[in-house]
Amino acid sequence: EKENILVSACLLGVNCKYNGGNNYNSEIKALASKYNLIPVCPEQLGGCPTPRLPAEIQKGSGRDVLCGKAKVMRKDGVDVSENFVKGAKEVLNIAKQTNIKLAILKSKSPSCGKGKIYDGTFSGNLIDGNGVTADVLEENGITVLSEKDIDKIELFLRRD
Ligand code: SF4
């Protein structure tokens, strides 16, 4: 039986990005020959419309949003933290139902980002940290890797 892998839906060509587009990645899609790729978009699952205004975590990481120390703010100044936390919980529920060990998530996103995210100033600056969903999954023992870490993904998938 094929192992299930959770994947940011935009990487598989789903038009769930804030601007109505996607981040199709052929290397990630090619994993479908050996694994069941389960597409999820935490922002849509959290009730955000598509298209939507971009949002960034203000002064913090996903972890800080979860404990109320930072907020996810839309570019027009609206606090969308609740949507992002709800989306992360929905994704965690799907991950548990499908016995997920690995999630491949889109880099830099305030939901999906792993390792680096935007700093909240909407100016393209990156800081260390994960998005809200990436942190929730990691806190629950799921390995999270960015689509940019194809070497690490292959290494993880070769494990016994
Ligand atoms: Fe892609 Fe994640 Fe953004 Fe959805 S929330 S569009 S899956 S990066």
Domain ranges of the chain: 4-55+84-114+131-157
The answer to whether 71 and 65 have CB atoms below 8 angstroms apart is: yes
Contact 26, 12 (CB under 8 A): no
ipTM > 0.90, yes or no: yes
Task: Say how many Å lie between the CA of residue 74 and the centre of ligand 1.
Answer: 15
The residue among 10, 6, 9, 12 whose CA lies nearest residue 30 is 12
Asked if residue 109 has its Cβ within 6 Å of ligand 1, the reply is yes
- Let me know if 148 is exposed, middle or buried by CB neighbors in 10 A (0-12, 13-18, 19+): middle
For residue 79, the tally of other CB atoms under 10 A from its CB is 13
pTM of the predicted protein model: 0.98
Task: Write out the two tokens for 142.
Answer: 């799921």
3-state SS, 97-124, equals HCCCCEEEECCECCCCCCCEEECCCCCC
- The per-residue pLDDT for range 111-139, each reduced to its tens digit, is 999 999 999 999 999 999 999 999 999 99
Residue nearest atom 6 in ligand 1 by C-alpha distance: 17
37-93, pLDDT tens digit by residue? 999 999 999 999 999 999 999 989 999 999 999 999 999 999 999 999 999 999 999
Q: Is the pLDDT of residue 98 over 70?
A: yes
In short, whether 43's Cβ falls inside 6 Å of ligand 1 is yes
The position carrying tokens 């606090």 is 79
CA of 23 to the centre of ligand 1 (A): 9
Cβ atoms of 38 and 28 closer than 8 Å: no
Confidence of residue 160 (pLDDT cuts 50, 70, 90): low
User: At the topology level of CATH, where does 4-55+84-114+131-157 sit?
Assistant: Rossmann fold (3.40.50)
Q: And the tokens for 65?
A: 């949003």
